Amino acid sequence: MSEVRELQIASRMEGITEVEALINQICEDFGVEETHYGEILIAMTEAVNNAIVHGNKLDISKMVNVKVSTEGTVLTFTVTDQGPGFDHENIPDPTAPENLEKPNGRGVFLMRQLADTCEFEELGRVAILTFDEAIPQAATAQ
């Protein structure tokens, strides 16, 4: 069984609350375990925050699109912004000694650590986070 849900928000920090509500609903509907829920919530908060702040530069006329799709036990989240993109191949390592004190630069690192896969498309305007086995087998049999 597969399902797709979508949400579009303006580039305001308050929009993250709407994304959190969507994640809560998805996780509740599919019986996602607490461990996966925490990983999904943190990774997606980072992805949406990056889209709002770095991608769309807090321009409320620009939108962030969030798509959630399920396929078996896999949850896939796609976050798309309307910004210019970024060089996702050359992001400074936030764990390097020279970067430990910096207030920014951990979002993509966290996304890559928490999701099973984290990919970028369209010059970094699209982030795709996949969480394998996030949905219990029993939920997929319904």
What residue has token string 């769309």? 56
Backbone angles phi, psi at 24, to 5 degrees: -60, -45
pLDDT in tens, 33-74: 999 999 999 999 999 999 999 999 999 999 999 999 999 999
Confidence of residue 102 (pLDDT cuts 50, 70, 90): confident
End-to-end, the C-alpha distance of the chain in Å comes to 8
The 3-state secondary structure of 12-62, one letter per residue: CCCHHHHHHHHHHHHHHHHCCCHHHHHHHHHHHHHHHHHHHHHHCCCCCCC
> How far, rounded to the nearest angstrom, does the alpha carbon of residue 6 sit from its chain's CA centroid?
13
For 52, what's the count of Cα atoms within 13 Å in the CB-facing half-sphere? 20
Phi, psi at 65, each rounded to 5°: -105, 135
The structure's pTM equals 0.92
- Domain range for 109: 2-140
Q: How many domains does the chain have?
A: 1
Flag whether pLDDT at 142 surpasses 60.
no
State the CATH number of the domain containing residue 49. Answer: 3.30.565.10
* Residue 89 reports pLDDT greater than 90: no
Amino acid in the structure at residue 90: N
